[in-house]
Amino acid sequence: MENIQSLSQMTSWLATGRILFLLIHLLGVGCFAYIVAKRLAPLIRGERDFRFDQPLVRLGRVLKFWLGQWKHPRYRTAGIIHIFIFAGFIVLAIRAFSVLIVGVSENFVMPGLSGRAGPIYDIITDYAATIVFLCMVIAVIRRLVFKPARYAVPARYGKAHTADAIFLLSLIAILMVADSLFAAAKAAAQSQPGQSVESLAAFSLPWILQKALLSTALSTLGKLYFSAYLVHELTFYFLLCYRPFGIQFHVETSLFNIYFAKLDREILKPVRWGVSDEHLDQVKSFGVKSFEDFTWKHMLDFYSCADCGRCSDNCPANAVGRPLSPRFITVKARDYSFQHYPVLGRANDGRPLVGSKDSGSIYSEDEIWSCTTCGACEAECPLLIEYIDKIVDLRRGMVDDGNVPQSLQKPLKALESRGNPYGKMEKKKADWANAKEFQQICPVKTLDKKNGADTLYFVDSITAYDDRMQSIARATAKILNHVGENFGILGPAERDSGHEVRRFGEETLFMALRDNNVEAIKASGVKRIVTADPHAYNALKHDYKDVPPVEHISQVIAREVKAGKIKFNPVENADSVYTYHDPCYLGRHNQIYDDPRDVLDAIPGLKRVEMKRSRDRSFCCGGGGLMLFYEPKEEQRMGVKRVQMAAEAGANVIVTACPFCMVNIEDAIKVAGLEGKMTAIDLAELVEKQIASESQTVA
């Protein structure tokens, strides 16, 4: 029995176990430290990123998203498997270290596990190893037999990662078997007469192996014990050193990635951290043009991606066949980083990041312009990987180089000269409100030195100039009038909010539009702002500074309904089935999900159904703002897909709360051949139609 209990005394390859295992430890730890140092090299050269504030908030997020695996159950089967694997790893981490040390110091016991806790912990680890092993088997079967579509790699993005995934899953399974065999061989030897038996957890993998080994000769058990330990050691260190070469690196980086994840996701990253707007003229080049222009945190994102495909599975651009799949924005950057910052050899100059196919760049221009900044990828990613900031930064780099799609050049020039993308005259901005008949039923002031108001209705370009969308402006004005709001508009003094211009990457133009609006808003003396456009809402709330608080009209309506100031007549079309489409910049970017639904549910007789993809899984209508002027390559329009989702839910009226959604959805209804069967209406329009006159409280 001596030899089975003392690994350090065993002799193999002319060395005692202690020397052999010590050498393996030193080699394993040394290689891992070297590889990690090499992986950190690009991060050190990356741009700065301020992620060191609010440590308690960050720790809370680590507890929620890392330890609590908060987002994983959004995909039930894969999520549950991952939670079991993760929990197993956490439990086994302490055991792995104590097992490693036992090879050189046979009597080592992890502090805290020497008393009663030891056997209890051993039982837990027996089950943990079993669960992790079973999860590996299930994961391999899923990959090989069920092949979830989101793991597939389209040909344009390279080869499938299945072999690598299976190799890694198999290694983890081997680790679990080796660990279990190590415990089982020892327990089987102890089962011989005269030994004190270490009990194993019933029906666990070590227990099953122990039962199988009961009649094995002691000398064979000794060899098995030693071999299992050696395989465990070698597999452990191989995994440790192999992981930084692929998707499994997230095992090491995920905790840090979540700790340093962006806290205020709705706020777009500045052009350069630490450089104020006033000093931007000193910045030599805007945006990301080379790999090193990414911030260190964005590079850490690249390392931390688990390649689970959830982001792309939810990306509307990917769903309609645009040349964009967020997962591969990350995978390609990670591959690039591994190639240009190799573990062996020197870092070398790389390819350009964005360009045409011939340029050998890693991203195509269309890929970068295809994003609608809808945020679905970020809402889904269990590792809180960021996309919008990276894509906007890549666009900033392209715009800085004068690389702007042809179709966008005209609207950008118009924004520069006229303050709106249509090139319409400023003096026409209030035309929607100035028609005599409308002024008679709903007077709308244009604010100036003589005409003041408490509330500014910020209309924004599309609602002010587009003939169809002007109906939303009039409905909004009537609602404000109805609830007795003392409000006005800026009229010709209002410029486009610049929301899309900024996300398009034109920071300087955005700043000019913003500054103009801020000045006009301040001069108007208003105390608060209301808008019916979620893009304007998002810009005023997050991109502007020093402006009064802003609300979306759906928030105002919901509040006034609760206060009893707005009452509704029974719904006009009682046979219709309504569904609410969450605009990205109201829902995902600002978490306004309930107010519009509460308003709809307050209309007597209105039947409402939810689409499968709703709330934070809402499907973008096709992109607001400048996306209306950009014609990406795609197989199907996003709006058409969305309209089909509404039809599948059994709805025949789509309610939204955004003029851009309205343009895309109404257009999609025609393209989908659903005219006459499906209609779209803005929440403000519906509310204005349904308001009961007895709740009138005209100002």
Residue 492 tokens read as 């010709």
CB of 163 to ligand SF4, least distance (A): 18
CB of 79 to ligand SF4, least distance (A): 12
Angle between helices 17-45 and 218-242 (to 10 degrees): 10
CB of 379 to ligand SF4, least distance (A): 8
Nearer to ligand SF4, 7 or 320 (CB): 320
Nearer to ligand SF4, 589 or 597 (CB): 589
CB of 329 to ligand SF4, least distance (A): 7
CB of 14 to ligand SF4, least distance (A): 46
Nearer to ligand SF4, 377 or 489 (CB): 377
Angle between helices 218-242 and 162-190 (to 10 degrees): 150
CB of 577 to ligand SF4, least distance (A): 28
Which residue from 362, 359, 369 is spatially nearest to 406, judged by alpha carbons?
A: 369
Distance CA 90, CA 128 (A): 9
Nearer to ligand SF4, 136 or 308 (CB): 308
Q: Residues 527, 548: contact at Cβ < 8 Å?
A: yes
Nearer to ligand SF4, 250 or 541 (CB): 250
CB of 151 to ligand SF4, least distance (A): 10
Nearer to ligand SF4, 541 or 588 (CB): 588
Which residue type, as a one-letter code, is found at position 418?
A: R
- Write down the H helix ranges in 582-682: 594-601, 638-648, 659-671
Which residues, 6+ apart, have CB-to-CB distance to 177 below 8 Å?
133, 205
Nearer to ligand SF4, 95 or 243 (CB): 243
Strands 653-656, 679-682: pairing is: parallel
Nearer to ligand SF4, 327 or 542 (CB): 327
Which residue from 498, 459, 496 is spatially nearest to 476, judged by alpha carbons?
A: 459
Residue 202 tokens read as 């019933």
- Write down the H helix ranges in 344-426: 365-369, 376-380, 388-400, 406-418
CB of 688 to ligand SF4, least distance (A): 31
Nearer to ligand SF4, 62 or 317 (CB): 317
CB of 627 to ligand SF4, least distance (A): 10
Is residue 612 exposed (0-12), middle (13-18) or buried (19+ Cβ within 10 Å)?
Answer: exposed
Nearer to ligand SF4, 205 or 331 (CB): 331
Residue 483 tokens read as 């609830």
CB of 331 to ligand SF4, least distance (A): 8
Nearer to ligand SF4, 181 or 384 (CB): 384
For residue 582, what is the DSSP state? P
Nearer to ligand SF4, 169 or 383 (CB): 383
What phi and psi values does residue 47 have, to the nearest 5 degrees?
A: -70, 160
Exposure b/e, 365-403, CB count within 10 A at least 16 = b: bbbbbbbbbbbbbbbbbbbbbbbbbbbbbbbbbbbbeee
| Three-state DSSP class for residue 636 | coil
Nearer to ligand SF4, 205 or 317 (CB): 317
CB of 632 to ligand SF4, least distance (A): 10
Nearer to ligand SF4, 315 or 469 (CB): 315
Nearer to ligand SF4, 251 or 377 (CB): 377
Cα-to-chain-centroid distance, residue 562 = 33
Q: Residues 16, 10: contact at Cβ < 8 Å?
A: yes
CB of 374 to ligand SF4, least distance (A): 4
CB of 384 to ligand SF4, least distance (A): 8
Which residue from 474, 512, 475, 472 is spatially nearest to 495, judged by alpha carbons?
A: 512
List residues binding ligand SF4 (CB under 6 A). Answer: 305-311, 315-317, 324, 326-327, 330, 371-377, 380-381, 383, 385, 387-388
CB of 312 to ligand SF4, least distance (A): 7
What residue has token string 């806790």? 117
Nearer to ligand SF4, 317 or 668 (CB): 317
Q: What is the DSSP string of 297-355?
A: HHHHHHHH-----HHHHH-HHHHTT-S--HHHHHHHHHHHHHHHS-SSS-------SEE
Q: What is the 3-state secondary structure (H, E, C) of 249-277?
A: HHHHHHHHHHHCCCCCCCCCCCCCCCCCH
Q: Where are the beta strands (DSSP E) in 497-639?
A: 528-531, 550-552, 577-580, 607-609
Distance CA 465, CA 428 (A): 8
CB of 134 to ligand SF4, least distance (A): 23
Nearer to ligand SF4, 233 or 365 (CB): 365
Q: What is the DSSP string of 21-76?
A: HHHHHHHHHHHHHHHHHHHHHHHHHSBP----S-HHHHHHHIIIIIIS-TTGGGSH
Which residues, 6+ apart, have CB-to-CB distance to 356 below 8 Å?
364, 365
Which residue from 694, 696, 642, 683 is spatially nearest to 664, judged by alpha carbons?
A: 642
Beta bridge partners of 15: 12
CB of 380 to ligand SF4, least distance (A): 6
Distance CA 393, CA 409 (A): 19
CB of 93 to ligand SF4, least distance (A): 21
